[in-house]
């Protein structure tokens, strides 16, 4: 059994490396900040931005604003994703969870921490796939479609549903991230 704040499970002892506490804390802080910006931006867009833009009567203005905001947030979002991936690997390293020694042990994957880690990875994969299709296929096509046409409406609905799927997946991801931070 570990000290308070350290996590153990059958066959493993996982804790921040004692020789790098400041780097570890900085890494976790960047990770949480990037997650806040990415998820917060998605929720702001869904809960505030989109409803406000939908109230605009001018179809062309509404389409341009959706496109411009989406393009600007796409850049911010992918920078956050890159930061999350790099700091996520760093967090695994600092927690002693990086490498084949631990990943090849079935006891790890059978533990609460291993299961939480597995589902967090699955959720990250789903979110990245949906985000790629949304940001580089459906979203740009919706922005280029003539406002008010059946194609524009279909593409905008598809983009909105992708945003909703990613929002729900983001909440699931957050749940498993908290479980991991709390030992599984």
* Three-state secondary structure of 156-176: HHHHHHHHHHHHHHHHHHHHH
Regions of the chain where pLDDT drops below 70 = 1-19
Identify the pLDDT of residue 14: 56
Residue 2 has a pLDDT of 43
Backbone angles phi, psi at 175, to 5 degrees: -55, -50
Give me the pLDDT at residue 15, please.
Answer: 58
Query: In angstroms, rounded to a whole number, what is the distance separating the alpha carbons of residues 87 and 97?
Result: 13
CB 63 within 8 A of CB 152: yes
Residues 40, 41, 47, 51: what is their CA dihedral angle, to the nearest 10 degrees?
170
At residue 4, the pLDDT reads: 42
Q: How far is it, in rounded angstroms, from Cα 158 to Cα 152? A: 10
This prediction has a pTM of 0.82
Nearest to 32 by CA among 178, 164, 132, 130: 178
Res 99: pLDDT: 83
């Amino acid at each position: 059994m570990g000290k308070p704040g350290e996590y153990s499970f059958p066959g493993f002892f996982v804790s921040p490396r004692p020789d790098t506490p400041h780097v570890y804390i900085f890494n976790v802080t960047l990770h949480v900040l990037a997650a806040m910006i990415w998820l917060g931006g998605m929720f702001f867009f869904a809960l505030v931005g989109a409803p406000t833009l939908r109230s605009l009567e001018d179809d062309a203005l509404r389409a341009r604003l959706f496109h411009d905001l989406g393009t600007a947030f796409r850049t911010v979002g992918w920078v956050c994703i890159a930061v999350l991936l790099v700091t996520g690997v760093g967090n695994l390293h600092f927690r002693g969870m990086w490498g084949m020694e631990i990943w090849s042990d079935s006891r790890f994957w059978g533990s609460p921490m291993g299961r939480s880690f597995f589902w967090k990875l699955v959720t990250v994969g789903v979110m990245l796939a949906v985000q790629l299709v949304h940001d580089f296929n459906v979203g740009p096509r919706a922005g280029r479609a003539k406002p008010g046409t059946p194609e524009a409406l279909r593409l905008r609905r598809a983009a909105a549903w992708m945003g909703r799927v990613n929002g729900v997946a983001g909440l699931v991801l957050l749940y498993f991230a908290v479980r991991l931070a709390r030992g599984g």
